[in-house]
């Protein structure tokens, strides 16, 4: 089989959010895709049509593309049958803030033994500067770059909850490689998406990803800082954000004050970028201040709760709406909502919690709170705390919930509700920057 034919055969190593979205997306574009994972239960579930994550549109994509996508634990066979191999395994943060590259190293070692003809190895995982050289060194012990393989850094810009949409409507595609041959193959793969495309060096591609996430994180910490000041002076952050959003230099994205940023990417990547800078003898004080403000913002929500209840949480029962790190995802990794729950527990509070999607995942992290099947089961609570901005929370009958509350207090950590409306309904209402 010649290269022209084989480039339509792809392997995706790793079936998390990025890997599964990428695999299904390329299958929808007409490619034959093999998804590889070491988790036998996950692979068996996918073979049976069971998707291990919640992502809008993913279930329909899988049903539609069953003939073009397959799932296996056999990496060697997948590599043999593919011209392009995407690496989409996790790179979690170590305690030091550095990215843990153990999964990347394992994949590279397995690829080194599995490559039997020219392959384009595409690094989708977010990896720090120096990782490409590490992968190259591992592969080059048995294979020759340019003859047996070429490396490409192709960062993802997928938002959890909107990942399927983002795959088909990318803001940009970044292809970082020193190989014109590999770049042309990737350009052909992505051509149907008709997106702005940047071909650059691997190092530039890596830094684009880290810089993008650091900038998004900085916007969140910035608007939370302004929200804190707005509270002190009696201004309404909603109007401030609206005024900012009209400026074409600023826009409105990532200017929603709340409990801070969490999830699997922003904190991890910001810490990794800080570590990269420090390893090059530079102290990135500004980047560190973004993390410091985020930590302060999360803890400020607990302070609001304590103040609203007279400073004592021991023995108080608190209702929680929202546990995932953002709406419409099951993901509770680095969820600030979960961290807030833990802090409230440490103060002696009893917790009753509800999330429309992430309850099972939350139970896996915190087992000793009461999980409710329905938000209207929030009864005999001293305060209601909204931590995730699900639309259905905005549409709840709060008069009904109020009848079951000991104290009609709402702390709205995501500014979901209208303050005037809630106060006219008899609630003591506190938002963020309002």
Residue 359 has a CB neighbour count (10 Å cut-off) of 18
The angle at the Cα of 39, spanning 356 to 33, to the nearest 5 degrees, equals 90
SS3 assignment for 54-91 = CCCCHHHHHHHCCCCEEEECCHHHHHHCCCEEEECCCC
Verify whether residue 35 is a known catalytic residue. no
* C-alpha span between 88 and 18 (Å, rounded): 6
Closest CA to 334 of 273, 431, 383, 269: 269
Contact of 275 with 433, CB cutoff 8 Å? no
The HSE-up count of residue 243 (CA atoms within 13 Å, CB side) is 8
Instruction: Out of 163, 214, 259, 265, pick the active-site residue.
Output: 265
Contact of 152 with 173, CB cutoff 8 Å? no
First and final CA of the chain: distance in angstroms? 64
* C-alpha span between 64 and 66 (Å, rounded): 6
* C-alpha span between 83 and 181 (Å, rounded): 12
256-271 residues labelled b (16+ CB within 10 A) or e (exposed): bbbbbbbbbbbbbbbb
* C-alpha span between 157 and 174 (Å, rounded): 10
The angle at the Cα of 249, spanning 245 to 252, to the nearest 5 degrees, equals 25
Closest CA to 151 of 125, 178, 173: 178
Reduced to 3 DSSP states, what percent helix, strand and coil does the chain have, rounded to the nearest 5?
Answer: 45, 15, 40
Sequence-ordered alpha helix ranges (H) in 14-154: 17-28, 40-47, 58-64, 75-80, 102-114, 131-140
Residue 395 has a CB neighbour count (10 Å cut-off) of 8
Any idea which residues carry the catalytic annotation? 265
């Amino acid at each position: 089989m010649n290269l022209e034919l084989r480039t339509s055969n792809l392997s995706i190593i790793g079936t998390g959010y990025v890997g599964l979205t990428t695999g299904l997306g390329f299958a929808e574009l007409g490619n034959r895709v093999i998804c590889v994972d070491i988790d036998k239960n996950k692979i068996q579930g996918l073979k049976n049509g069971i998707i291990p994550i919640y992502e809008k549109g993913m279930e329909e994509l899988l049903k539609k593309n069953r003939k073009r996508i397959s799932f296996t634990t056999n990496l060697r066979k997948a590599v043999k049958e593919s011209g392009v191999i995407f690496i989409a395994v996790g790179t979690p943060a170590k305690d030091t803030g550095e990215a843990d590259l153990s999964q990347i190293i394992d994949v590279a070692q397995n690829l080194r033994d599995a490559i039997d003809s020219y392959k384009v190895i595409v690094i989708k995982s977010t990896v720090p500067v120096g990782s490409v050289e590490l992968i190259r060194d591992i592969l080059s012990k048995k294979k020759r770059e340019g003859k047996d393989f070429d490396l490409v850094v192709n960062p993802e810009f997928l938002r959890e909850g909107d990942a399927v949409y983002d795959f088909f409507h990318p803001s940009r595609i970044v292809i970082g490689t020193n190989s014109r041959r590999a770049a042309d193959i990737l350009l052909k793969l992505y051509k149907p998406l008709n997106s702005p495309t940047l071909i650059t060096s691997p190092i530039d591609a890596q830094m684009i990803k880290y810089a993008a996430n650091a900038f998004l994180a900085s916007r969140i910490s910035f608007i939370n800082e302004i929200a804190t000041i707005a509270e002190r002076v009696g201004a309404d952050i909603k109007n401030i954000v609206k005024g900012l959003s009209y400026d074409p230099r600023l826009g409105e994205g990532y200017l929603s004050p709340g409990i801070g940023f969490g999830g699997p990417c922003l904190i991890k990547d910001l810490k990794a970028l800080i570590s990269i800078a420090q390893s090059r003898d530079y102290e990135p004080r500004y980047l560190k201040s973004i993390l410091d403000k985020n930590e302060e913002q999360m803890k400020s929500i607990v302070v609001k709760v304590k103040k609203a209840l007279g400073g004592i949480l021991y023995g108080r029962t608190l209702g929680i709406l929202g546990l995932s790190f953002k709406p419409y995802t099951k993901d509770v990794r680095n969820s600030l909502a979960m961290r807030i729950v833990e802090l409230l527990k440490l103060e002696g509070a009893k917790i009753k919690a509800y999330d429309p999607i992430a309850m099972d995942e939350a139970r896996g992290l915190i087992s000793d709170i009461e999980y409710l099947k329905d938000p209207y089961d929030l009864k005999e609570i001293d305060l209601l705390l909204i931590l995730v901005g699900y639309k259905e929370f905005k549409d709840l009958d709060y008069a009904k919930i109020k009848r079951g509350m000991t104290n009609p207090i709402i702390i709205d950590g995501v500014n979901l509700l209208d303050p005037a409306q809630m106060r006219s309904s008899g609630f003591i209402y506190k938002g963020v920057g309002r």
